[in-house]
Amino acid sequence: MPLKSLSSAPLVWIDVETTGLVPEKDVMLEIAMVITDGNLDQLGQPQSLVISQPPEQLRKLNAWSKNCHTKSGLLDDVAKSSLTLQQAESVLMEQVTKYCKRPNKAVLAGNNVGFDRAFISRYMPVLSGYLHFRNIDVSSVNELAKRWRPDVVSQYKKTYSHRAMDDINESIRELKHYQDTIFRR
């Protein structure tokens, strides 16, 4: 894909909350998505989906995940959910295909997106096929700013709610902060 057409491709901001760190043994509990243009202006409706999981999956939670997802209310929401992974993927694809007519064009964005991409690749292959191999990883921008512009990093405070939509909105706000302070036009 030529660079010019990639720079006009929508950004698909995704965050997943999971039972652990390993896609081969852990599962998705929640996925949220916001689509923006290159200026970080929202396109379409944000999606926040809590995925039903059987009790045996929830019993496998490590201590950190159990504490975090109990405190945030996510485990209660998972217990009430009847949404399957396939249904969640269909809801997300409805939005993605509105703004991305062809596979492999949408650029995945977020914080630590390699983690999210691994779970998407494993559990949502259709969505994975619509995402370009390139990422916009806000955590990488943050790491560079810590080294080269610590004054800019100290101006932005994160909340770390560990709910997917909160984390996505936080990532977008964080990149807007860097856009305004480092990448001024």
- SS3 sequence, 75-125? HHHHHHCCCCHHHHHHHHHHHHHHHCCCCCCEEEEECCHHHHHHHHHHHCH
CATH value at residue 35: 3.30.420.10
Q: What pLDDT sits at residue 1?
A: 45
Higher pLDDT pick, 153 / 115: 115
* Residue range 141-153: mean pLDDT, rounded: 93
Distances (CA, A) of 69 to 47, 138, 156, 162: 19, 23, 25, 8
Q: Give the CA radius of gyration of the chain.
A: 17
Asked if 13 and 172 count as a contact pair (C-beta separation under 8 A), the reply is yes
Percent of the chain at pLDDT > 90 equals 82
The model's confidence at residue 185, banded by pLDDT at 50, 70 and 90, is low
What average pLDDT score do residues 59-86 get? 95
Domain total for the chain?
Answer: 1
Domain that residue 105 falls in: 3-181
Asked if residue 77 has pLDDT above 90, the reply is: yes
Which of the four pLDDT bands, split at 50, 70 and 90, describes residue 3? very low
User: Has residue 4 got a pLDDT over 70?
Assistant: no
Q: What is the DSSP string of 2-33?
A: -HHHHHTSPEEEEEEEESSS-TTT--EEEEEE
> Residues 23-36: pLDDT tens digits?
999 999 999 999 99
Q: Residues 38-54: pLDDT tens digits?
A: 999 999 899 999 999 99
Residue 114 has what pLDDT? 97
Task: Return the pLDDT at 2.
Answer: 46
